[in-house]
Amino acid sequence: MLEIEMPKAKDKILIVEDEEAIRDMLGYALMKEGYECSEANDVEEARNNLQTSRPNLILLDWMLPGMSGIDYAKRLRMVPDTRDIPIIMLTAKGEESDKVRGLETGADDYITKPFSTKELVARVKAVLRRYESDDISELVEVQGLKLDPATYRVTANDTIIDISPTEFKLLHFFISHPERVYSRSQLLDQVWGENVYVEERTVDVHIRRLRKTLEPFAYDQFIQTVRSVGYRFSAK
Ligand code: CA
């Protein structure tokens, strides 16, 4: 069997902060730690950014021109696509009640200005670690199709399906991100990792294998081709 090495992609962080000096400082500190950063000045820019790439974490300033960071965090939590992106709120407010409010609206952590980059990096790492370990242990299921990442086992109504690690990863990604269309290059980034030189048609090959694997259980129809765009997982 062909073993495919799947190194981890760089974690992407979206920085939403209107103060340029702070934004630069954050970007610099995080890039030095090996993160890939993109920056937004306000919620509108953040939204544009989210349409083209999915960050592993969002650093979100509380006080922004236009929509506040708190309101934006609430909205991010309401949308299935962004619900599971961890958020760290940045704020100048240090009061306990604000902290509680920030966490209630869906932020994962909270950091008060002024802070050191060392503290920030430590918080970012802690939140990402928490999410990554959640991912690994989280069993996903849709209509009797169950994936257990702890054992790399897939079952269809309790019948074990023989599946390769790449197909497993691909299927796990799809089930965790349903109803959304992904291009071949997005799937490569998400499933294979960004620094891997794999041709886009490799994705088609694995999609074909995955469908074949799922076909006896009629789950292959969940993997849908979206003409000239890419693929989507839909159980509807
Ligand atoms: Ca601000």
Q: How far is the CA of 32 from the centre of ligand 1 (A)?
A: 23
Q: How far is the CA of 174 from the centre of ligand 1 (A)?
A: 36
- 1: confidence class by pLDDT, cuts 50, 70, 90: very low
Task: Check residues 219 and 128 and name the one with the higher pLDDT.
Answer: 219
Q: How far is the CA of 70 from the centre of ligand 1 (A)?
A: 12
Q: What pLDDT, on a 0 to 100 scale, did the predictor assign at position 6?
A: 47
Task: Check residues 172 and 77 and name the one with the higher pLDDT.
Answer: 172
The matching CATH number, chosen from 2.30.42.10, 2.40.10.10, 1.20.1440.230, 1.10.10.10, for 140-233 is 1.10.10.10
Q: How far is the CA of 110 from the centre of ligand 1 (A)?
A: 14
Strands (E), the chain: 12-16, 36-40, 57-61, 87-91, 109-112, 140-142, 145-148, 153-156, 159-161, 181-182, 223-226, 230-233
- Spell out the domain ranges in the chain: 12-132, 140-233
- 99: confidence class by pLDDT, cuts 50, 70, 90: low
Q: What is the pLDDT of residues 3-16, one digit of tens each?
A: 454 445 689 999 99
Q: How far is the CA of 76 from the centre of ligand 1 (A)?
A: 18
Q: How far is the CA of 61 from the centre of ligand 1 (A)?
A: 6
The matching CATH number, chosen from 3.40.718.10, 3.40.50.2300, 3.40.50.300, 3.40.50.1970, for 12-132 is 3.40.50.2300
Contact assessment for residue 186 and residue 233, using Cβ atoms and an 8 Å cutoff: no
What's the gap between Cα 152 and its chain centre? 20
> Beta partners for 159?
156
Q: What is the pLDDT of residues 131-188, one digit of tens each?
A: 765 555 578 899 999 998 877 789 999 899 988 878 888 999 899 888 888 999 888 8
Contact assessment for residue 174 and residue 223, using Cβ atoms and an 8 Å cutoff: yes
